[in-house]
């Protein structure tokens, strides 16, 4: 504000008027599209530099380092007495890269990844609305469905990246901090690296699929609200509510269909002889909810009046 | 299953989900139209001569001849305990006979524990009864086509009936005993290594008394007696006069002899020869060799009462007599529910169907069995999960199948332990029924009491193994007492934790010479164990076990020379419940819902694509940049923001959209850009209809209700990001020229969040101009701009339009519009009240504006004005400013000027223009005053006429 009075009398806009004359003669020629409107690349560029993206991934990358640091601190303070079950889990985490990354996934899959999925997918549309840039995208013109698709693809891709990054970074940090030992299970079911890595990949793929319903709910809320917080917070709230309902035995056959019901089934993939039933059920139900809410989002956004 | 499925389906499609529906629907599906006939059947009298009638239910078949199934209940139950199985069997085409056993429910008599002379004889009477029924199929006169099915107490009855009555054609017997004496006084010290999976040939010393189970058994009958009919109640009513009556009260409905022997055993902890003989006689064991009916045996790992060794003994007898048999090891039993209960029931029904209903040949045991000869489950990875089923074509060690074994060496082979005086404290290992409650204790600390136990650890398992049956080991026992009791249990050692594999113990009781080492072979609890490579086992030997009656005499015991463990191993074909049964219901439901949704999405997409193709284009309007016709928009709250708005913008025009706040300008703009949908009317840009995201919007640049930018990007990056979103070639954008319009200087490379409102506004205008669109729509472009910037913007817009493009500007700054625009559309309360060229609107014949020089004497002016007012045809004279006089007259302009000069006004200039503000205010007031739109604005000319009239008033 302070330093742009801009009165160098070269007359603003003169340059534009100079280039405009010749083109007007050729006016009426068709618009030359190089790419589809709001290509994935351009949407990625819109989201990538954002502070929320940087913070989200920063937190994700910091988590293993914080774990390593706190374990080291705990050792120094020297109270390594017979602890509770949870402290035994953390003892286990320090027995090698594989265990460390698994504990990391265990800790993060409950809330952190859910939150990130809700953030990446729920915030994409309402943040544009809150910056008033949504209407400019739409008149650029970007078709409503196209806009949603680009936003969703980038949101889902970011979620996928976070899901992949977490165990990979955990393996690296764990390996450097605690050595490259393969998985040792408290129940004596040890997996070699050759068995563990594909299983871990499968478990992460499953976790990713179970994140999709929350992502889709956040996305749908995002098309209904102009406030990013409403979309992200709403989706997390829904996930918490469903978790509470999931505790009720009275809902027994029905709760299987809840998005979060099979959220821990990924642990099955790491058993010596895995049972795929729960993972299959969980993945299918997750896809049902994800597709359902995504459809609702498209339906809503296609018809809504953009007043932001 | 199907009920659950349909309810889940209801949930998925979102129809009403009421919990009340679940039990109702379930009851509807399970309810059988056939209600059993209750009859009372006289059977053999009690030893004391009391007549006994059994309470019997018969599920009849309406027509034809049908096989019959005797359905026996478990100990402490009644005929009602088996109703659901009876319904199932009835549906499969059987006449079903269920009865409350002697001493149970409404039946009379006392409990004789499956005495061949009483309970078994009763069952034979029921077969006679069946043979007389008209709906029962007969093999021969008096010989009904019949099967017998039961669990536990009922299971033993079935085996004993089949062993004593040839008329039985098929048996299903679950979780039952072979030798009741061995079940209550189990002995795991064996004479020779096992030849079958769970085989146990105990030495000739009765084992320790299984106190807790025996008491439970006893109490359950006592409870039955309390609630039961005549017996106990009658005795109590008779008073405490005699000892017999008191005994009867204590014994409930038990036969007094059995009761007395049981109480005695409980007091001493040892089996009297009488009791042993009695229990052995009340077992299938003596008659097992005589069973010729094909027999299906289900026995559970989770059973500390009748272990797998009991089933093994029954099966061995069947194999010896070449009777067809199949064995199924469940993970349930008296301690826990099976995780494959449905499959086990199905297999049982299939067995009866095959041999009883369909009369498959039972002569050759090799003839195809309806189920695998041996089915067992390996423990699931997680608690609560169903076990993984495996099958073998023969029971290991029988029918020619070899018993495969593997050695697992011990790393500890000796140890010492004490038997505490008084037998207390006792190790707590297998608490019966605890698993059924879902309680799993981490029990090593309370099992391995210090000094009272010895742990024999194995070496790690080299290669993953599945143990199916009883592992055995040999060791040498030295004690300072002649009577030694040991309890062996199997634990798994991982890292620092030791977990119990199964809540089972193998009790050993030896008669030794004090101080003399005695070799003994111990058969550890039979079960299925999964041993992944690297696992270590621990055989825990304790001197006490809380569920057994422990000796009160102290002892010091030394264990030495323990041999390697001999493990019976098997590799069966995995069945895997879900895989075998195809796709389970939940998968089916979920994938069904998914497919449905995807189809719906596909359908919606196709419909929309088709609809989009059918948007009407107007080739006749192809040359006109913007045509708005009959636009109507009513918001959800009922407010009609835009009402029948029609106007157009031609090439080269700068059109000003004017109106007070709430006139509907912005709503119209948003509809023009396809941001909101119109209720009626159309917008055409260059002849193409505009809807949300129409391609033709690419030829329109817009600034609507303030700019919108990504705050974290710089001004230049924002324009680039916007242009990249259009997908058009970067060289078409003219970034530098557009930024020149914004005149941001060095600020273009700072993030937008640091910009002032004016800078954002200018950047917004520059963004609208990117790509030099043919139609430029600017909503309040001068907001936040200072006067020099406004002045700079003015020629840009004019010259932009002069290139043959079109500019639409909405504004409330009338002077600005007047100076910038060539045409004007005036809106008020959602309607267009006037439109036309600015020049035409402000121009008028009856108004003359006279300019006076500066510093004219005020008196001169007022005198002149008065004179002019008096002149002919002059309607109004108004002094706008000291140098400007407006004259309205119906005379020619020349005459007005002449009159003014005559009136002494020093006129230096004459013009015909009014200010747009006047026009605007006049139009607005006229539109508001006369009850609005009596005649719609159809013609520009007539409107102008009306305006003048308004002005004239």
Please, are residues B470 and B419 in contact by the beta-carbon 8 Å criterion?
no
Q: What is the mean pLDDT of chain B?
A: 83
What span, in angstroms and rounded, lies between the C-alpha atoms of B731 and B741? Answer: 17
Under the banding of pLDDT at 50, 70 and 90, the label for residue B10 is very low
Between strands B775-779 and B806-811, the pairing is parallel
Q: Please work out, in degrees rounded to the nearest 5, the angle formed at the alpha carbon of residue B729 by the alpha carbons of B723 and B734.
A: 65
Domain with CATH 2.60.120.260 in chain B: 405-573
What span, in angstroms and rounded, lies between the C-alpha atoms of B567 and B472? Answer: 7
Three-state SS for B647?
strand
The answer, for B799 touching chain A at a CB cutoff of 8 Å, is yes
Residues B619-841: name the CATH superfamily: P-loop containing nucleotide triphosphate hydrolases (3.40.50.300)
For a pLDDT cut of 70, what percent of chain B falls above it? 86
Question: Is B662 a residue whose pLDDT tops 70?
Answer: yes
- A13, A253, A268 member nearest B740 (Cβ): A13
Structure tokens at A81: 């007495």
The alpha carbon torsion through B309, B314, B320, B322 (nearest 10 deg) reads: -130
The answer, for A6 touching chain B at a CB cutoff of 8 Å, is yes
Per-residue pLDDT reduced to its tens digit, B503-543: 889 999 999 999 999 999 999 999 999 887 778 899 999 99
Question: Is B632 a residue whose pLDDT tops 90?
Answer: yes
The answer, for A1 touching chain B at a CB cutoff of 8 Å, is yes
Enumerate residues 6+ apart whose C-beta is below 8 A from A235.
A118, A122, A214, A215, A217, A218, A221
DSSP B357: I
| Phi, psi for residue B847 in degrees, rounded to 5 | -115, 135
pLDDT at B12: 32
What span, in angstroms and rounded, lies between the C-alpha atoms of B385 and B373? Answer: 24
pLDDT at B336: 79
The alpha carbon torsion through B259, B262, B266, B267 (nearest 10 deg) reads: 70
- B381, B675, B772 member nearest A138 (Cβ): B675
B116, B97, B100, B98: which is closest to B108 by C-alpha? B100
Q: What is the mean pLDDT of residues B421-433?
A: 80
Residues B405-573: name the CATH superfamily: Galactose-binding domain-like (2.60.120.260)
What span, in angstroms and rounded, lies between the C-alpha atoms of B437 and A202? Answer: 34
Per-residue pLDDT reduced to its tens digit, B460-505: 888 888 999 999 999 999 999 999 999 999 998 876 678 888 888 9
Please, are residues B154 and B348 in contact by the beta-carbon 8 Å criterion?
no
What span, in angstroms and rounded, lies between the C-alpha atoms of B527 and B504? Answer: 9
Q: Highest mean pLDDT: which of A81-90, B825-834, B935-944?
A: B825-834
For a pLDDT cut of 90, what percent of chain B falls above it? 37
Please give the helix or strand (H or E) that residue B859 lies within, else none.
helix B858-870
Per-residue pLDDT reduced to its tens digit, A148-207: 999 999 999 999 999 999 999 999 999 999 988 888 765 556 678 888 899 999 999 999
Under the banding of pLDDT at 50, 70 and 90, the label for residue B794 is confident
* Rg of chain A in Å (alpha carbons): 25
CATH architecture under which domain B843-952 falls = 2-Layer Sandwich (3.30)
B76, B74, B94: which is closest to B86 by C-alpha? B94
Per-residue pLDDT reduced to its tens digit, A291-303: 999 999 999 998 8
Structure tokens at B255: 């036969």
Between strands B325-330 and B374-378, the pairing is parallel
Please, are residues B821 and B838 in contact by the beta-carbon 8 Å criterion?
yes
Q: What is the mean pLDDT of residues B627-635?
A: 91
pLDDT at B714: 92
Instruction: List the single residue in B with minimal CA-CA distance to A303.
Output: B677
Per-residue pLDDT reduced to its tens digit, A232-247: 999 999 999 999 998 8
CB contact under 8 A, B759 and A1: yes
For a pLDDT cut of 90, what percent of chain A falls above it? 47
The gap from C-alpha B353 to its chain's centroid, in whole angstroms, comes to 37
What span, in angstroms and rounded, lies between the C-alpha atoms of B290 and B280? Answer: 16
Please, are residues B60 and B10 in contact by the beta-carbon 8 Å criterion?
no
Q: Highest mean pLDDT: which of A4-8, A270-274, B26-30, B153-157?
A: B153-157
Question: Is A23 a residue whose pLDDT tops 70?
Answer: no
Per-residue pLDDT reduced to its tens digit, A247-283: 888 887 888 888 888 988 888 888 766 778 889 999 9
Under the banding of pLDDT at 50, 70 and 90, the label for residue A76 is low
Strands across the sheet with B680-685, in order? B640-649, B626-634, B680-685, B688-689
Residue among B574, B708, B754, B801 with most chain A CBs within 10 A, to mutate: B708
B744, B726, B865: which is closest to A142 by C-alpha? B726
Domain with CATH 3.30.70.100 in chain B: 843-952
The answer, for B637 touching chain A at a CB cutoff of 8 Å, is no
Question: Is B309 a residue whose pLDDT tops 90?
Answer: yes
pLDDT at B119: 93
What span, in angstroms and rounded, lies between the C-alpha atoms of B369 and B892? Answer: 122
What span, in angstroms and rounded, lies between the C-alpha atoms of B39 and A151? Answer: 74
The gap from C-alpha B754 to its chain's centroid, in whole angstroms, comes to 48
Residue for token digits 């009867």?
A: B248
Domain with CATH 3.40.50.1820 in chain B: 32-183+282-392
Question: Is B914 a residue whose pLDDT tops 80?
Answer: no
B477, B503, B479, B480: which is closest to B490 by C-alpha? B503
> How close A40 gets to chain B, by Cα (Å)?
9
pLDDT at B25: 37
Q: Tell me the count of A-B CB pairs closer than 8 A.
A: 252
Please, are residues A279 and A268 in contact by the beta-carbon 8 Å criterion?
yes
pLDDT at B947: 46
pLDDT at B735: 87
What span, in angstroms and rounded, lies between the C-alpha atoms of A43 and A216? Answer: 18
What span, in angstroms and rounded, lies between the C-alpha atoms of B698 and B208? Answer: 93
| Phi, psi for residue B22 in degrees, rounded to 5 | -60, -60
The CATH number of the domain covering residues in B32-183+282-392: 3.40.50.1820
What span, in angstroms and rounded, lies between the C-alpha atoms of B739 and B745? Answer: 9
Per-residue pLDDT reduced to its tens digit, B861-879: 888 888 888 887 888 887 8
Domain segments of chain A as ranges: 37-303
Structure tokens at B729: 């070639």
Residue among B21, B538, B725 with most chain A CBs within 10 A, to mutate: B725
Please give the helix or strand (H or E) that residue A76 lies within, else none.
helix A51-77
pLDDT at B384: 61
pLDDT at B916: 74
Higher local confidence (pLDDT), B932 or B634:
B634
Residue positions counted in chain A: 308
What span, in angstroms and rounded, lies between the C-alpha atoms of B750 and B215? Answer: 87
Between strands B374-378 and B536-542, the pairing is unpaired
The number of C-alpha atoms within 13 Å of A77 and in the hemisphere containing its C-beta is 8
Structure tokens at B62: 């309406």
Question: Is B950 a residue whose pLDDT tops 70?
Answer: no
Enumerate residues 6+ apart whose C-beta is below 8 A from A179.
A96, A97
Q: Which residues are paired to B531 by β-bridges?
A: B465
The answer, for A256 touching chain B at a CB cutoff of 8 Å, is yes
Question: Is B782 a residue whose pLDDT tops 90?
Answer: no
């Amino acid at each position: 504000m302070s330093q742009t009075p801009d009165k160098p009398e070269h007359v603003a806009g003169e340059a534009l008027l100079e280039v405009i004359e010749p083109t007007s003669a050729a006016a009426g020629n068709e618009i030359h599209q190089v790419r589809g409107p709001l290509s994935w690349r351009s949407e990625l560029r819109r989201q990538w530099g954002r502070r929320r993206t940087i913070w989200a991934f920063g937190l994700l990358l910091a988590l293993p380092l914080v774990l390593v640091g706190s374990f080291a601190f705990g050792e120094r303070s020297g109270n390594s007495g017979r602890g509770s079950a949870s402290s035994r889990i953390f003892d286990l985490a320090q027995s090698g890269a594989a265990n460390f990354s698994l504990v990391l996934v265990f800790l993060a899959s409950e809330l952190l990844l859910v939150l990130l999925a809700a953030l990446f997918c729920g915030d994409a549309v309402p943040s544009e609305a809150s910056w008033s840039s949504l209407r400019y995208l739409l008149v650029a013109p970007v078709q409503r469905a196209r806009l949603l698709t680009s936003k969703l693809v980038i949101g889902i891709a970011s979620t996928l990246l976070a899901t992949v990054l977490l165990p990979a970074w955990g393996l690296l940090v764990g390996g450097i901090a605690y050595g490259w030992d393969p998985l040792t299970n408290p129940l004596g079911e040890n997996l070699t690296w050759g068995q563990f890595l594909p299983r871990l990949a499968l478990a992460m793929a499953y976790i990713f699929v179970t994140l999709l319903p929350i992502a889709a709910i956040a996305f749908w809320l995002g098309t209904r609200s102009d406030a990013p917080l409403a979309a992200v917070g709403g989706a997390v709230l829904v996930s918490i509510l469903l978790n509470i309902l999931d505790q009720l035995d009275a809902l027994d056959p029905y709760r299987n269909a809840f998005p979060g019901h099979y959220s821990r089934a990924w642990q099955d993939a790491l058993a010596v002889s895995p049972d795929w039933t729960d993972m299959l059920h969980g993945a299918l139900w997750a896809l049902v909810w994800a597709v359902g809410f995504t459809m609702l989002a498209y339906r809503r956004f296609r018809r809504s009046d953009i007043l932001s | 299953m199907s009920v659950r499925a349909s309810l889940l389906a209801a949930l998925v499609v979102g129809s009403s989900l009421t919990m009340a529906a679940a039990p109702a629907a379930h009851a509807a599906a399970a309810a059988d139209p056939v209600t059993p006939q209750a009859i009372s059947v006289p059977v053999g009298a009690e030893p004391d001569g009391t007549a006994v009638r059994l309470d019997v239910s018969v599920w009849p078949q309406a027509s034809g001849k049908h096989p019959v199934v005797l359905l026996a209940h478990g100990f402490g139950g009644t005929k009602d305990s088996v109703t659901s199985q009876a319904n199932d069997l009835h549906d499969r085409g059987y006449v079903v006979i269920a009865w409350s056993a002697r001493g149970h429910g409404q039946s009379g008599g006392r409990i004789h524990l499956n005495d061949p002379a009483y309970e078994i004889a009763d069952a034979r009477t029921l077969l006679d009864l069946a043979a007389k029924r008209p709906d029962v199929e007969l093999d021969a006169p008096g010989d009904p086509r019949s099967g017998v099915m039961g669990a536990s107490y009922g299971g033993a009855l079935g085996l004993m009936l089949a062993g004593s009555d040839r008329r039985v054609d098929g048996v299903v017997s679950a979780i039952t005993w072979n030798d009741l004496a061995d079940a209550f006084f189990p002995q795991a010290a064996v004479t020779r290594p096992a030849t079958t999976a769970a085989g146990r040939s105990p030495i000739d010393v009765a084992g320790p008394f299984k106190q807790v189970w025996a008491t439970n058994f006893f109490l359950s009958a006592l409870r039955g007696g309390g609630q039961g009919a005549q017996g106990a109640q009658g005795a109590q009513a008779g008073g405490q006069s005699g000892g017999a009556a008191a005994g009867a009260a204590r014994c409930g409905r038990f036969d007094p002899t059995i009761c007395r022997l049981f109480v005695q055993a409980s007091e001493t902890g040892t089996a009297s020869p009488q009791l042993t003989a009695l229990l052995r006689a009340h077992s299938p064991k003596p008659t097992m060799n005589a069973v010729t009916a094909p027999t299906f045996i289900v026995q559970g790992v989770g059973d500390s009462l009748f272990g797998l060794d009991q089933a093994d003994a029954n099966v061995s007898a069947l194999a010896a007599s070449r009777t067809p048999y199949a064995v199924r090891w469940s993970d349930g039993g008296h301690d826990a529910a099976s995780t494959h209960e449905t499959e086990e029931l199905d297999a049982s029904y299939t067995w009866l169907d095959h041999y009883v209903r369909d009369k498959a040949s039972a002569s050759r045991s090799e003839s195809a069995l309806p189920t695998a000869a041996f089915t067992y489950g390996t423990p699931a990875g997680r608690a609560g999960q169903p076990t993984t089923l495996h099958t073998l074509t023969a029971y290991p060690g029988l029918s020619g199948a070899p018993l495969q074994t593997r050695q697992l060496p011990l790393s500890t082979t000796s140890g010492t332990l004490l038997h505490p005086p008084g037998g207390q404290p006792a190790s707590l290992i297998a608490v019966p029924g605890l698993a059924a409650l879902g309680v799993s204790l981490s029990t090593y600390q309370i099992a391995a009491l210090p000094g009272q136990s010895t742990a024999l650890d194995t070496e790690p398992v080299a290669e993953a193994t599945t143990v199916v049956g009883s592992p055995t080991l040999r060791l040498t026992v030295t004690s300072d007492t002649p009577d030694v009791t040991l309890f062996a249990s199997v634990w798994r050692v991982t890292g620092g934790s030791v977990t119990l594999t199964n809540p089972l113990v193998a009790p050993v009781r030896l008669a030794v010479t004090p101080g003399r080492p005695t070799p003994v072979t111990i058969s550890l609890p039979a079960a299925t164990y999964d041993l992944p490579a690297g696992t270590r086992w621990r055989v825990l030997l304790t001197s006490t076990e809380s569920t057994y009656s422990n000796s009160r005499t102290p002892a010091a015991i030394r264990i030495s020379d323990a041999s390697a463990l001999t493990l019976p191993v098997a590799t069966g074909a995995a069945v895997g419940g879900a895989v075998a049964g195809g796709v389970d219901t939940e998968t089916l439901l979920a994938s069904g819902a998914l497919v449905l949704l995807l189809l719906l999405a596909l359908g919606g997409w196709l419909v929309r694509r088709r609809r989009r193709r059918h948007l009407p284009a107007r080739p006749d309007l192809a040359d006109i940049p913007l045509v708005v016709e009959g636009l109507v928009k009513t918001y959800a709250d009922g407010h009609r923001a835009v009402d029948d708005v029609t106007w157009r913008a031609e090439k080269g025009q700068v059109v000003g959209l004017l109106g007070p706040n709430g006139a509907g300008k912005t709503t119209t703009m948003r509809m023009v850009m396809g941001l909101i949908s119109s209720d009626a009317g159309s917008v055409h840009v260059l002849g193409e209809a505009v809807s949300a995201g129409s391609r033709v919007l690419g030829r329109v640049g817009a600034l609507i209700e303030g700019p919108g930018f990504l705050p974290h990007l710089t001004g230049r990056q924002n324009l680039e990001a916007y242009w990249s979103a259009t997908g058009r070639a970067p060289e078409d954008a003219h970034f530098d020229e557009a930024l020149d319009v914004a005149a941001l200087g060095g600020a273009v490379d700072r993030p937008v969040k640091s910009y002032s409102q004016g800078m954002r506004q200018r950047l917004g205008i520059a963004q609208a101009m990117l790509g030099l669109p043919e139609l430029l729509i600017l909503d309040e472009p001068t907001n936040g701009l200072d006067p020099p910037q406004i002045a700079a913007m003015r020629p840009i817009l004019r010259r932009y339009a002069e290139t043959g493009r079109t500019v639409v500007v909405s504004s409330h700054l009338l002077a600005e519009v007047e100076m910038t625009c060539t045409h004007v559309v005036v809106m008020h309360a959602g309607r267009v009240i006037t439109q036309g060229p600015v020049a035409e609107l402000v121009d008028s014949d009856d108004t003359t504006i006279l300019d006076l020089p500066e510093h004219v004497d005020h008196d001169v002016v007022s005198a002149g004005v008065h004179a002019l007012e008096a002149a002919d045809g002059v309607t109004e004279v108004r002094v706008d400013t000291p140098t400007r006089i407006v004259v309205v007259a119906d005379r020619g302009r020349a005459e007005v000027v002449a009159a003014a000069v005559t009136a002494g006004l020093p006129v230096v200039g004459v013009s015909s223009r009014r200010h747009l503000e006047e026009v605007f205010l006049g139009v607005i007031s006229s539109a508001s005053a006369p009850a609005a739109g009596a005649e719609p604005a159809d013609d520009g000319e007539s409107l102008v006429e009306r305006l003048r009239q308004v002005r004239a008033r």
